[in-house]
Amino acid sequence: MQPITVKLLRWYDSHHRILPWRISPRDRLAGIVPNPYRIWLSEIMLQQTTVEAVKPYFRTFVEKWPTVTALAAASQDDVLRAWAGLGYYSRARNLKKCADIVCADFGGHFPADTERLKSLPGIGDYTAAAIASIAFDLPSAVVDGNVERVITRIYALTTPLPLAKPTIRTRMQALTPNERPGDFAQAMMDLGATICTPKRPACVICPLNDNCTALQTADPELFPVKAAKKGKPIRLGAAYVALSDNNEVYLRSRSEKGLLGSMTEVPTTQWTARLDGSTDVDDAPFPANWTPAGGITHVFTHFELRLKIYTANGVHQQTSSDGWWVKVEKLAGEALPTVMKKAIAAAIPDAFAKRRKVE
DNA sequence: AAGGCGGGGGT
DNA sequence: ACCCCAGCCTT
């Protein structure tokens, strides 16, 4: 085992994070094995998502669906409702698809090799290696953002990402031990998350500072080198919050593909670079006494959206057909992405507020 | 290889 | 304002 590997495992034994889906190194040594379903679920949720954001969703999911069989028995709509707010909703659609396949083709057991894991929807290079190493203790090299940062610093790799990825993978594979590969994978990620951070890394207390080329010869903060990013365009549109006389809001379902696919929305116009000429009220989904209710801004990964909000009261429910009506108090249970909750809240300020005692 | 795809927190 | 987060999929 390489010196770096030994040092990192020793550090992990005393400084590992406590996480709801994790088997501690002590328990692991005592023979307690991870539950592949829980490892898979956590890894899907953790894709481009912080640990703190995942925790409450993970608890909700394992309580609601304790096994992959239970998840497969759920409807996609139930899964999307539980996922609402976590983002990257294709993950939720693939989660359900993957559960169905694991139950139908693998008898409810996740395959224990990276090739077959990668064939499942929502599982790519990283997640296949993570499940193989963490759930099954196979020496498969995990390469996520943490590992990219730690490896490029240890070896002072100046090739910009993503071009440096194959080199990083080779270096990581060379460090990954046949004993405790799962703990090693998690140790690298814990180090990246708590010590070898993007800004102001805590090199003074890093267990690998003697092995870090970037620390000896340069500034660790300069790594990893990344390709230049692109600007973020602005798109404009309008959203329409219709209220019926019995305090229900009109909702409808988005198309299955593309942005926020299969999630729930209030009617909106197209989101375009410019509103050329037409007035927003003319673009409403149905005639009503639309009145302005301010605006919201929501930032997506690749564009910024500014929506003007219109609202109308006392709308007759038969004036619309393709969607459905939901009591304001029941909105929180719908599969509403955050941008739609913002739009509704602009028209109905306390729509998602916690119930407050009468003052 | 590049771009689409959420949302929140840190600096 | 910009960056980052246990990335994947399509084109």
Please report, rounded to whole angstroms, the spatial distance between the CA atom of protein residue A161 and the C1' atom of nucleotide B7.
24
Is A213 a residue whose pLDDT tops 80? yes
Is A353 a residue whose pLDDT tops 90? no
In this structure, what token pair is assigned to residue A28? 């692991």
Regarding whether A167 and A25 lie in a shared domain, the answer is: yes
Q: Is residue A140 part of a domain?
A: yes
Domain hosting residue A124, numbered range: 3-144+159-194
Active site residue A329: no
**What is the mean pLDDT of the segment spanning A64-86?**
98
User: pLDDT of A8-33, one tens digit each?
Assistant: 999 999 999 999 999 999 999 999 99
* Share of residues in chain A with pLDDT > 70 (%): 97
Q: What is d(CA A6, CA A291) in angstroms, rounded to the nearest whole number?
A: 66
Q: What is d(CA A277, CA A283) in angstroms, rounded to the nearest whole number?
A: 11
Q: Is residue A247 part of a domain?
A: yes
Is A272 a residue whose pLDDT tops 90? no
Phi-psi map region of A56: left, alpha, beta (phi>0 left; psi -120 to 50 alpha): alpha
**What is the mean pLDDT of the segment spanning A228-250?**
93
Is A178 a residue whose pLDDT tops 70? yes
Q: Is residue A69 part of a domain?
A: yes
Identify whether the C-beta of residue A247 lies closer than 8 Å to the C-beta of residue A328. yes
Residue at the smallest CA–C1' distance to nucleotide B8: A53
Nucleotide nearest to A39 (CA to C1'): C6
Is A39 a residue whose pLDDT tops 80? yes
Q: What is d(CA A32, CA A67) in angstroms, rounded to the nearest whole number?
A: 18
Please report, rounded to whole angstroms, the spatial distance between the CA atom of protein residue A105 and the C1' atom of nucleotide B1.
34
Q: Is residue A23 part of a domain?
A: yes
Domains of chain A: total: 2
Is A110 a residue whose pLDDT tops 80? yes
Q: Is residue A357 part of a domain?
A: no
Regarding whether A184 and A296 lie in a shared domain, the answer is: no
Return mean pLDDT, chain A: 95
Regarding whether A189 and A72 lie in a shared domain, the answer is: yes
Cα A13 to chain centroid, rounded: 28
Q: b/e map of A36-59 (b: 16 or more CB within 10 Å)?
A: bbbbbbbbbbbbeeebeebeebbe
Please report, rounded to whole angstroms, the spatial distance between the CA atom of protein residue A302 and the C1' atom of nucleotide B1.
18
Q: Which of residues 150-189 of A touch strand C (CB under 7 A)?
A: 186, 189
DSSP reduced 3-state for A143 = coil
**pLDDT confidence of residue A318:** 81
Confidence of residue A359 (pLDDT cuts 50, 70, 90): very low
Regarding whether A177 and A42 lie in a shared domain, the answer is: yes
Confidence of residue A277 (pLDDT cuts 50, 70, 90): low
Q: Where are the alpha helices (DSSP H) in chain A?
A: 3-15, 25-29, 36-46, 51-64, 68-73, 76-83, 90-105, 114-118, 125-130, 136, 145-154, 165-175, 181-194, 213-217, 338-347
Half-sphere exposure of A150 (CA within 13 A, CB side): 31
Confidence of residue A282 (pLDDT cuts 50, 70, 90): confident
Nucleotide nearest to A338 (CA to C1'): B7
Confidence of residue A279 (pLDDT cuts 50, 70, 90): confident
**What is the mean pLDDT of the segment spanning A75-97?**
98
**pLDDT confidence of residue A230:** 84
DSSP label at residue A226:
B
Regarding whether A69 and A170 lie in a shared domain, the answer is: yes
Binding residues for strand B (Cβ < 7 Å): A 48-50, 52-53, 85-90, 162, 199-200, 227, 230, 258-261, 298-302, 337-339
**pLDDT confidence of residue A358:** 40
Residue at the smallest CA–C1' distance to nucleotide C10: A258
Nucleotide nearest to A197 (CA to C1'): C4
CA distances A81 to A174, A255, A299, Å, are: 42, 16, 21
Nucleotide nearest to A47 (CA to C1'): C7
Confidence of residue A357 (pLDDT cuts 50, 70, 90): very low
Q: Is residue A206 part of a domain?
A: no
Q: What is d(CA A223, CA A342) in angstroms, rounded to the nearest whole number?
A: 37
Residue at the smallest CA–C1' distance to nucleotide B11: A199
Nucleotide nearest to A129 (CA to C1'): C6
Please report, rounded to whole angstroms, the spatial distance between the CA atom of protein residue A270 and the C1' atom of nucleotide C6.
35
**What is the mean pLDDT of the segment spanning A27-42?**
97
Q: How many CB atoms lie within 10 A of CB A278?
A: 9
Regarding whether A67 and A180 lie in a shared domain, the answer is: yes
Regarding whether A117 and A33 lie in a shared domain, the answer is: yes
**What is the mean pLDDT of the segment spanning A114-140?**
98
- Poorest-pLDDT segment among A195-199, A217-221, A320-324: A320-324
**pLDDT confidence of residue A66:** 98
Regarding whether A246 and A183 lie in a shared domain, the answer is: no
Q: CA A66, A67, A72: angle at the middle one, nearest 5?
A: 115
Q: Is residue A208 part of a domain?
A: no
Please report, rounded to whole angstroms, the spatial distance between the CA atom of protein residue A311 and the C1' atom of nucleotide C7.
38
Nucleotide nearest to A45 (CA to C1'): C6
* Share of residues in chain A with pLDDT > 90 (%): 91
Residues with Cβ within 8 Å of residue A72, at least 6 apart in sequence: A96, A99, A100, A102, A103, A104
- Poorest-pLDDT segment among A20-34, A62-76, A224-238: A224-238
Q: Is residue A323 part of a domain?
A: yes
Regarding whether A283 and A138 lie in a shared domain, the answer is: no
Q: What is d(CA A238, CA A250) in angstroms, rounded to the nearest whole number?
A: 15
Regarding whether A248 and A177 lie in a shared domain, the answer is: no
Strand B nucleotides within a 7 Å radius of protein CB atoms: 2-11
Residue at the smallest CA–C1' distance to nucleotide B6: A87
Regarding whether A99 and A47 lie in a shared domain, the answer is: yes
DSSP reduced 3-state for A182 = helix
**pLDDT confidence of residue A330:** 95
The answer to whether the C-beta of A323 is closer than 7 A to strand C is: no
Regarding whether A107 and A56 lie in a shared domain, the answer is: yes
Number of residues that make up chain A: 359
Is A98 a residue whose pLDDT tops 60? yes
More confident site: A53 or A353: A53
**What is the mean pLDDT of the segment spanning A336-358?**
84
Strand C nucleotides within a 7 Å radius of protein CB atoms: 2-9
**What is the mean pLDDT of the segment spanning A287-295?**
95
CATH of the domain at A88: 1.10.340.30
CATH of the domain at A255: 3.90.79.10
Q: How many CB atoms lie within 10 A of CB A321?
A: 9
Please report, rounded to whole angstroms, the spatial distance between the CA atom of protein residue A54 and the C1' atom of nucleotide C1.
26
